[in-house]
C-alpha cells in the first residue's frame, strides 16, 4: 500500500524526543515489507542540506489556509531509500528551535506552523499524484490531518479515499491553543461547537485528531489502557469512545545502533556468552564519573530528561538513604529541571566517588552507561513506551522500573523462586517504593549472583525490532482502511438515498403539477357550461 507519514521531527534531520526516532526507523521497516512510503516534515533552518543531500523538488506550491493561499516550496532526499520531503516556509520553520524559543517558551504561532505543515503535506500529494491509502499523523503537531481529510472536499483527487491513523506518542502534549487560530486553520466552526475541537473554550488539536481519525494508536498496549482511565490528561472519554479502533503498538529498537557486540561507542564489546567486556565497560564508567574502582560493587545508571514524568524526583528523594545504607554506586546523565540539577549536583559533591553526574547529553556516555551499569533506573510517573529499558535489556543491564506503560509491557518481573525475569518492578509512585525495589535488586545481586546471570542472559536474548512493529502498523493501516471504506460506503449510500429522495420529491411535484394542469381545463369547461346555462335561464325569464 501507499503510506504518507507526516511528522514534526525525524532522526537524523531534527530531534527533540522519541518521536524522531520512531519516524526515523518505521518508514524503512514498512518499505522493506513491500509498501511505498513518503515522509513529510518541516525544512528547519538548522538542517544541513548538503550533508543529507537535500535538493529542490517542487514549488512554489500554494496551500489554502483560512481562505488565503500560503506559498512554500518542497525539498527532498532519500533515507534508506525512503523519500523524505521537507516543506520550506522560512517564516514558519527557519528558527532556532523546533517548538520553543531560546527561553524555552512555546512559539505562539505553533498551531499555525504545524497546521500549515499538515495541509502542505496533503497538497503535495495532490500536486505530485501520490495516492496514499493511509495518511499517518503523529502527535498534536499533525493531528489536523484526519480532520482535513474528512472536512475538506477532496473529491476527484488522490486523497478522496485515503484513510487515517493518528499515533499519540505522549498524551501530555495536546496542542491546546486560542480560538484566534481557528479561522486560519481552515476548520468549520460547526466542528468546534460540536465538541470535536472545543476544550474549555480553547482549541484542542489532538482532541480533534482523535475525533476524525479512522484509527488511533499509542506506543504500548498498557499505555493505551491507562489513557482510557486515569492518564488520558482529560481525553479519556474521547479515547474510550474509539473502542477497538484505539490500541497500543510497541516501538522498536534499531539494533544496528544499540548492540554491545558492535557498538563503536564502547571501549570494549561483549556478548551474553563472553561478557568480560561488560566489566571493562563498568571500569570505564567508574573512571569517567570519578567513582572508586570496584568491579564487584552494584552500579546503577540512569539517562534521561530531569523531569517529573521520568520520576527522577523520586530518585532525588531516595538517593541519600540509598547511598547511606547500600553498597552501591550511581551515575546520572541528563538535563532539564534546574532544581533537580541542583539537588543532584549537591549530592554528587557530598558522595564523591559513589555518585557521579553529567548535566547535558552525550551519545557516547549514554551508550557507555547502558553497557557498564549493572542496573538501569526508570522510575517513571508515566511512560508511553520508553526506549532506554529496551536498550538496557540488549546490553544485559537489568532495568528497575515502575510498572507503567511500555515499561510494564517490556520488562518481566524477577521471580525469586526460579530466577526468571528480565528486571525489577515497583508500583506505587513514591520514594519508599523505589528505595525498596532497588534494595531488592541489590540484595539479589550480592546474594544470588546465579540469578543475576540468568536474568542477564534472558534480557540480552529479548528482541523488539522495527520489523515486528511494522507488522503491527500494517495491520493498523488495514483496519483504518476498512473503517474508511465502510464510512465511504455509508456516505455513498446516504448520498444515493438523498438523491433518490430528491428525485422522488421532484417527481411527486411534477405529478402534482400535471394533475393540476389537467384539472384546470375541466374546471374551465364546467365554468363555461355554467355560464351558458345561466344565460339560457335569463333569456327564458325575459321572454316570459
165-209 confidence digits (pLDDT tens): 999 999 999 999 999 999 999 998 988 988 899 999 999 999 999
The parent domain of residue 9 ranges over 2-249
Regarding whether 310 and 212 lie in a shared domain, the answer is no
Strand order in the sheet with 198-199: 176-177, 202-204, 198-199
Give a yes or no: residue 535 inside a domain: no
pLDDT tens-digit readout, 203-257: 999 999 999 999 999 999 999 999 999 899 999 999 999 999 999 999 999 999 9
- Residue 47 has phi, psi (to 5 degrees) of -75, 130
Instruction: Kindly state the cell numbers that stand for 299.
Output: 552500579
Q: Within a 10 A sphere around the Cβ of 243, how many other Cβ atoms?
A: 8
Regarding whether 358 and 318 lie in a shared domain, the answer is yes
Instruction: Kindly state the cell numbers that stand for 359.
Output: 548535566
Regarding whether 320 and 208 lie in a shared domain, the answer is no
Give a yes or no: residue 208 inside a domain: yes
Q: Which of 25-34, 284-293, 351-360, 482-491 has the lowest mean pLDDT?
A: 482-491
Classified as helix, coil or strand, 391 is helix
Give a yes or no: residue 368 inside a domain: yes
Regarding whether 71 and 170 lie in a shared domain, the answer is yes
Instruction: Kindly state the cell numbers that stand for 168.
Output: 499519540
pLDDT tens-digit readout, 335-391: 989 999 999 999 999 999 999 999 998 999 999 999 999 999 999 999 999 999 999
Confidence label for 533 from pLDDT (cuts 50, 70 and 90):
low
pLDDT recorded at residue 510: 83
Q: CA angle, 405 as apex, 138 and 167 as ends, to 5°?
A: 15
| CATH number for the domain that contains residue 68 | 3.40.50.2000
Regarding whether 283 and 231 lie in a shared domain, the answer is no
**Could you write out the DSSP letters of every residue in 341-375?**
HHHHHHHHHHTTTTEEEEES--HHHHHHHHHH-SE
pLDDT recorded at residue 508: 85
Give a yes or no: residue 242 inside a domain: yes
Determine contact, residues 256/264, Cβ cutoff 8 Å: no
The whole-number average pLDDT for the span 79-99 is 96
Give a yes or no: residue 416 inside a domain: yes
- Sign of the C-alpha dihedral, residues 350, 326, 398, 374? positive
Number of compact structural domains in the chain: 3
Regarding whether 210 and 335 lie in a shared domain, the answer is no
Regarding whether 306 and 225 lie in a shared domain, the answer is no
Regarding whether 305 and 231 lie in a shared domain, the answer is no
Q: Is the pLDDT of residue 499 over 90?
A: no
pLDDT recorded at residue 513: 85
Regarding whether 327 and 240 lie in a shared domain, the answer is no
Give a yes or no: residue 8 inside a domain: yes
Regarding whether 179 and 49 lie in a shared domain, the answer is yes
The whole-number average pLDDT for the span 284-298 is 98
Regarding whether 62 and 171 lie in a shared domain, the answer is yes
Could you tell me how far CA 116 lies from the centroid of its own chain?
A: 18
Mean pLDDT taken over the chain: 94
Give a yes or no: residue 523 inside a domain: no
Tell me how far apart the alpha carbons of residues 512 and 269 are, in angstroms, rounded to a whole number: 90
Regarding whether 357 and 226 lie in a shared domain, the answer is no
Of the three residues 404, 434, 467, the one that is the final residue of a domain is 467
Q: Is 471 exposed, middle or buried (0-12, 13-18, 19+ CB in 10 A)?
A: middle
- Residue 77 has phi, psi (to 5 degrees) of -150, 175
Q: Which residue shows C-alpha cell 553529567? A: 358
Integer-rounded Cα Rg, in Å, for the chain is: 32
Give a yes or no: residue 437 inside a domain: yes
Amino acid at each position: 500500500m501507499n503510506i504518507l507519514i507526516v511528522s514534526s521531527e525525524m532522526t537524523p534531520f531534527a530531534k527533540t524526543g522519541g518521536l524522531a526516532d520512531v519516524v526515523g526507523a518505521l518508514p524503512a521497516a514498512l518499505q522493506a515489507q513491500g509498501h511505498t512510503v513518503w515522509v513529510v516534515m518541516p525544512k528547519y533552518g538548522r538542517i544541513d542540506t548538503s550533508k543529507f543531500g537535500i535538493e529542490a523538488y517542487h514549488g512554489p506550491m500554494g496551500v489554502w489556509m483560512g481562505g488565503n493561499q500560503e506559498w512554500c516550496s518542497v525539498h527532498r532526499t532519500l533515507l534508506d531509500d525512503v523519500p523524505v520531503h521537507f516543506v520550506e516556509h522560512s517564516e514558519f520553520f527557519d528558527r532556532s528551535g523546533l517548538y520553543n524559543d531560546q527561553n524555552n517558551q512555546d512559539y505562539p504561532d505553533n498551531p499555525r506552523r504545524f497546521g500549515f505543515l499538515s495541509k502542505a503535506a496533503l497538497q503535495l500529494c495532490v500536486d505530485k499524484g501520490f495516492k496514499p491509502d493511509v495518511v499517518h499523523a503523529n502527535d498534536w503537531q499533525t493531528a489536523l490531518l484526519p480532520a482535513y481529510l474528512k472536512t475538506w472536499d477532496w473529491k476527484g483527487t488522490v486523497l478522496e479515499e485515503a484513510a487515517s491513523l493518528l499515533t499519540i506518542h505522549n498524551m501530555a502534549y495536546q496542542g491546546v491553543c486560542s480560538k484566534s487560530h481557528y479561522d486560519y486553520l481552515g476548520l468549520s466552526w460547526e466542528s468546534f461547537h460540536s465538541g470535536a475541537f472545543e476544550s474549555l473554550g480553547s482549541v484542542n488539536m489532538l482532541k480533534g485528531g482523535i475525533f476524525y481519525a479512522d484509527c488511533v494508536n499509542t506506543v504500548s498496549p498498557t499505555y493505551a489502557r491507562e489513557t482510557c482511565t486515569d492518564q488520558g490528561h482529560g481525553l479519556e472519554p474521547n479515547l474510550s469512545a474509539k473502542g477497538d479502533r484505539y490500541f497500543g503498538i510497541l516501538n522498536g529498537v534499531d539494533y544496528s545502533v544499540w548492540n554491545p557486540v558492535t557498538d563503536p561507542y564502547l571501549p570494549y564489546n561483549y556478548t551474553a556468552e563472553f561478557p568480560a567486556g561488560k566489566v571493562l565497560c563498568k571500569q570505564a564508567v567508574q573512571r569517567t564519573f570519578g567513582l572508586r574502582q570496584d568491579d564487584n560493587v552494584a552500579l546503577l545508571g540512569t539517562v534521561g530528561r530531569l523531569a517529573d514524568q521520568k520520576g527522577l524526583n523520586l530518585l532525588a528523594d531516595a538517593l541519600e538513604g540509598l547511598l547511606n545504607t547500600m553498597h552501591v554506586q550511581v551515575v546520572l546523565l541528563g538535563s532539564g529541571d534546574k532544581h533537580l540539577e541542583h539537588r543532584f549536583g549537591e549530592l554528587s559533591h557530598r558522595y564523591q566517588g559513589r555518585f557521579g553526574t553529567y548535566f547535558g547529553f552525550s551519545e557516547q556516555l549514554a551508550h557507555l552507561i547502558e553497557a557498564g551499569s549493572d542496573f538501569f533506573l526508570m522510575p517513571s510517573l508515566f511512560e508511553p513506551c520508553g526506549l532506554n529499558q529496551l536498550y538496557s535489556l540488549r546490553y544485559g543491564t537489568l532495568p528497575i522500573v515502575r510498572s507503567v506503560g511500555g515499561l510494564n509491557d517490556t520488562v518481566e518481573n524477577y521471580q525469586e523462586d526460579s530466577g526468571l525475569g528480565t528486571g525489577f518492578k515497583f508500583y506505587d509512585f513514591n520514594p519508599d517504593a523505589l528505595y525498596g525495589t532497588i534494595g531488592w535488586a541489590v540484595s539479589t545481586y550480592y546474594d544470588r549472583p546465579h540469578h543475576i546471570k540468568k536474568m542477564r542472559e534472558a534480557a540480552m536474548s529479548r528482541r523488539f525490532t522495527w520489523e515486528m512493529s511494522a507488522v503491527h502498523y500494517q495491520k493498523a493501516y488495514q483496519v483504518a482502511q476498512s473503517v474508511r471504506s465502510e464510512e465511504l460506503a455509508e456516505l455513498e449510500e446516504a448520498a444515493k438515498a438523498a438523491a433518490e429522495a430528491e428525485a422522488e420529491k421532484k417527481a411527486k411535484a411534477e405529478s402534482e403539477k400535471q394533475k393540476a394542469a389537467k384539472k384546470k381545463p375541466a374546471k374551465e369547461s364546467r365554468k363555461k357550461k355554467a355560464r351558458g346555462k345561466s344565460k339560457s335561464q335569463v333569456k327564458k325569464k325575459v321572454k316570459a
